[in-house]
Structure 1
Amino acid sequence: MLTNEYVKRVYDQVQKRDGDQPEFLQAVYEVLDTLQPVIAKHPEYEANGVLERLVEPERVVKFRVAWVDDAGKVQVNRGYRVQFNSAIGPYKGGLRFHPTVNEGVIKFLGFEQILKNSLTTLPMGGGKGGSDFDPKGKSDAEVMRFCQAFMTELNRHIGQFTDVPAGDINVGAREIGYLFGQYKRIRNEYSGVLTGKGLEFGGSLARTEATGYGLCYYTAEALRVLKNDSFEGKTVVISGSGNVAIFATEKAQELGAKVVTASDSNGYVYDPDGIKLDIVKDIKLGHRGRIKEYAERVPGAEYHEGCAGVWTVPCDIALPCATQNEIDEASAEALVKNGCKVVCEGANMPSTPEAIAVYQKNGLLYGPAKAANAGGVAVSGLEMSQNSYRLSWTFEETDAKLKSIMESIVAESLAAAKEYGEEGDLMAGANIAGFVKVANAMVAQGIL
């Protein structure tokens, strides 16, 4: 509940201006709520209008993307890039291609990215972008033409020292390749302007695995520090079947857990013997199939229509890796009822405020997305460093740096939470630790 007068005033202003953007309002409220003790202790933040500036993007770019489909028909989509905050580095954040993309969704993602990037300790500001284009069912040629049209506009707003986009939902190696190729063609320069690139043209080893692996490194460290426990012998429920879910499953299995679920937008599969990851990879990475196919290929596995049911599967640890607000209050209560003790987020804001309240009321270990899924942007930052140095680190070197970053995020979050009277609260700690670094940089640079 907002009680600080300055915080309330800022949130009221956001509501007035952006009342039609529920995801953005949700993200802002959650952060401002946890920052109240910080604001009370630092009057210089109010004097410098830090919160008012934090919640208002430095720049919002919205543009038309016209392209031609395989039938020769002109299609028009909307493109977005929100450059939210550059106090600690160039804007950094992914591009999402999905029918649900709109300005409010991109703003919520960009706002979260400010604090997430700050937590990595790397010099990256917060940004996000994307389009309401849906690659699903499109040919490679159609995806290429769309990406080229998208980059034809976007290129004038980005650069290796200005804004460095990456991938997100439905923007993987194929899309990044097409986007990078078009940028190179238009600008006639070879630079690290996009991350998530192929290894042949400046990509980083471990980038594909980074968000999923990082999620598990974060969860393992939080379990060790807060519960003196580990993944060993635990049953894990994971939603999604994209890169984050696949590599979270892979690392959780390596750490001794049994992962029993995978899902997509149509439904989920439950395998009581543990998910066979080679089959999921073949379905999703091999031929972009639907997860239903898993149950057709694996004896004893069950397929269920609808996604929400995945949270009714008994487990020790839940790792939501699909999309925002996928766990509501009822799903959170089902998790608690069925024995779940840990929820760490691989997707962006996958839990509603009501779900988070259920976690907190029942004493679950809760790792918020901006901390738990920061591994992807962390290795994106490492890719930027490698591009600047014109070198490439080994998988082992990059993975070790990723593990260290995720463990430091847990430590930073817990230290910040303790300092401001929220001991053990990873959500409050992540918001506070990420904010203080950005806020101090904003104060130091003057009113911009």
Structure 2
Amino acid sequence: MDSEVRDYIDSVYDTVVRRNPNEAEFHQAVQEFFESMEPVIAKHPEYRKHAILERLVEPERLISFRVPWVDDQGQVQVNRGFRVQFNSTLGPYKGGIRFHPTVSASIIKFLGFEQIFKNALTGQPIGGGKGGSDFDPKGKSDMEIMRFTQSFMTELHKYLGPDTDVPAGDIGVGAREIGYMFGQYKRIRGGNEPGVLTGKGVGYGGSLGRTEATGYGCIYFVQEMLASRGLDLSGRRIVVSGSGNVSIFAIQKAQELGGIVVACSDSAGYIYDPQGIQLDTVKQIKLVDGGRISDYIDYHPGAVYRTGSTEIWTVPCEIALPCATQNELDEAAAQLLVANGLLAVGEGANMPCTLDAVHLLLSAGVLFGPAKAANAGGVAVSALEMAQNSMRLSWSFEEVDNKLKDIMANIYRSSLEAAEEYGFQGNLVAGSNIAGFKKVANAMIAQGVV
């Protein structure tokens, strides 16, 4: 490859590290992306001339703010809120809001950077953004969550709008939190702009199929990968980390298509059920009772519960779906999965595999669906929700699900074609990076230096 181009890319990365010290997650996301860029920059010198890489790694704006709120004991608490509006070249900023104690500027920037290319891959007119807070909703009452989200939106509303920035949910933010934020937005702004948030309840502007979209979309993407080798999900042993919405609906769709899901987890540990996970029980525990996944063995004593959520990757499987959080699957886990007969990985969470794990899995010939492609279903249907809000229409579940299938198939094809064009045959990590990048880069050049 061109050493001058490699030196140029390395110099841009070095600037990212220097300008953003102590932001390991953001550095990792940029490094992973830049690994695919050398043949693209070599073939298209106009991208270097227009400083596309330099502009892409710098957010259009990063907003950080104080979020004071009062708990049920009358004590004032203070958290920190963030919103990164990373790139609006293709449309209004679009990306979820995460409430989790690990949230930091680095986490939000890594997620927002990934969102640029993920959103581009969907083919929808949306740019990249992300937001959140280090607030922990676990153990909080509904009233505490309402007071926090209202305070959060009191500041955040200044930067939002249906044609400006449209957040959705993420870890720790579901329909309840979105509802409280939407109510506060309307209270402050007046009027009714349903397109300002997605993931809303179906009764007030939400879309059928949005809750299921990320999990379903991940399975649709894995289907496409398996079909390339003449395989399908039927009878395959599957391990799914996590037990939130993404995991639950990935399990549901996998089981509908004949897969045998034998393990899932939460932050404390995992369950292994050799007969296959009973999804109704998981839904009852996690979506209704708000319990821990360890409660599963109370219903199904033949199952096994073990502490240590990342130990789930010791369970032999043919398909692994990391759907919990970033960097949950490392190189050692990848080695064990390969030794146990792994065929495919679909990243349901954002950057759940470390760089070393990704490299090992690709070198072992494992079919690998990277997050920016495999988990794009959620934001794709969020964009469909925006479209329905704009038209004051509501589509059926079947209409939304069919559109989702088409979008995921198109993402797979465009990623595969880009990989082949630039010498990364079969490498969907590189292919998705390149396909998303070229769409954004070409639009950035067309719009001038802004």
Q: Which TM-score applies when normalising by structure 1?
A: 0.99
> Counterpart in 1 of 2:153?
151
Distance (whole Å) between structure 1 residues aligned to residue 349 and residue 219 of structure 2: 13
Query: Is the Cα contact below 8 Å between 2:2 and 2:42 reproduced in 1?
Result: no
Deviation at 1:222, TM superposition (A): 1.3
Q: Does the alignment pair 1:240 with 2:242?
A: yes
> Counterpart in 2 of 1:374?
376
> Counterpart in 1 of 2:416?
414
Task: List structure 1 segments (4+ residues) > 2 angstroms apart after TM superposition.
Answer: none
- Listed as ranges, the gaps of 5+ residues in structure 2 are none
> Counterpart in 2 of 1:394?
396
Deviation at 1:190, TM superposition (A): 1.1
Distance (whole Å) between structure 2 residues aligned to residue 189 and residue 335 of structure 1: 53
Query: Is the Cα contact below 8 Å between 2:241 and 2:312 reproduced in 1?
Result: yes
Deviation at 1:200, TM superposition (A): 0.7
Q: Which TM-score applies when normalising by structure 2?
A: 0.98
Distance (whole Å) between structure 1 residues aligned to residue 10 and residue 357 of structure 2: 23
Distance (whole Å) between structure 1 residues aligned to residue 53 and residue 264 of structure 2: 39
Root-mean-square deviation (CA, aligned residues, Å) is: 0.9
**What secondary structure is seen at the aligned counterpart in 1 of 2:292?**
coil
The one-letter amino acid of 1:338's match is N
Q: Does the alignment pair 1:209 with 2:212?
A: yes
Deviation at 1:429, TM superposition (A): 0.3
**What secondary structure is seen at the aligned counterpart in 1 of 2:196?**
coil
The one-letter amino acid of 1:251's match is K
Choose the corresponding residue for 1:220, options 217, 223, 234. Answer: 223
Deviation at 1:126, TM superposition (A): 0.2
1:325-346 alpha-carbon deviations (Å, 9 max, x no partner): 0001111111111111111100
The one-letter amino acid of 1:196's match is G
**What secondary structure is seen at the aligned counterpart in 1 of 2:163?**
coil
Deviation at 1:2, TM superposition (A): 10
- Listed as ranges, the gaps of 5+ residues in structure 1 are none
1:113-140 alpha-carbon deviations (Å, 9 max, x no partner): 0000000000000000000000000000
Choose the corresponding residue for 1:46, options 40, 45, 48. Answer: 48
Distance (whole Å) between structure 1 residues aligned to residue 167 and residue 294 of structure 2: 32
Deviation at 1:299, TM superposition (A): 2.4
How many percent of aligned residue pairs carry the same amino acid? 64
The one-letter amino acid of 2:222's match is T
Query: Is the Cα contact below 8 Å between 1:65 and 1:149 reproduced in 2?
Result: yes
Distance (whole Å) between structure 2 residues aligned to residue 52 and residue 270 of structure 1: 46
Q: How many residues align?
A: 447
Q: How does 1:157-236 map to 2 (within 5 A)?
A: 157-191=159-193, 192-225=195-228, 227-236=229-238
The one-letter amino acid of 2:204's match is F
Q: Does the alignment pair 1:361 with 2:363?
A: yes
**What secondary structure is seen at the aligned counterpart in 2 of 1:56?**
coil
**What secondary structure is seen at the aligned counterpart in 1 of 2:37?**
helix
1:24-49 alpha-carbon deviations (Å, 9 max, x no partner): 00000010110111011111111111
1:179-224 alpha-carbon deviations (Å, 9 max, x no partner): 0000011000211100000011100000000000000000001111
Distance (whole Å) between structure 1 residues aligned to residue 245 and residue 321 of structure 2: 13
Distance (whole Å) between structure 2 residues aligned to residue 213 and residue 299 of structure 1: 29
The one-letter amino acid of 2:176's match is R
Distance (whole Å) between structure 1 residues aligned to residue 201 and residue 2 of structure 2: 45
Distance (whole Å) between structure 1 residues aligned to residue 39 and residue 125 of structure 2: 26
The one-letter amino acid of 2:420's match is K
Query: Is the Cα contact below 8 Å between 1:2 and 1:33 reproduced in 2?
Result: no
Query: Is the Cα contact below 8 Å between 2:362 and 2:427 reproduced in 1?
Result: no
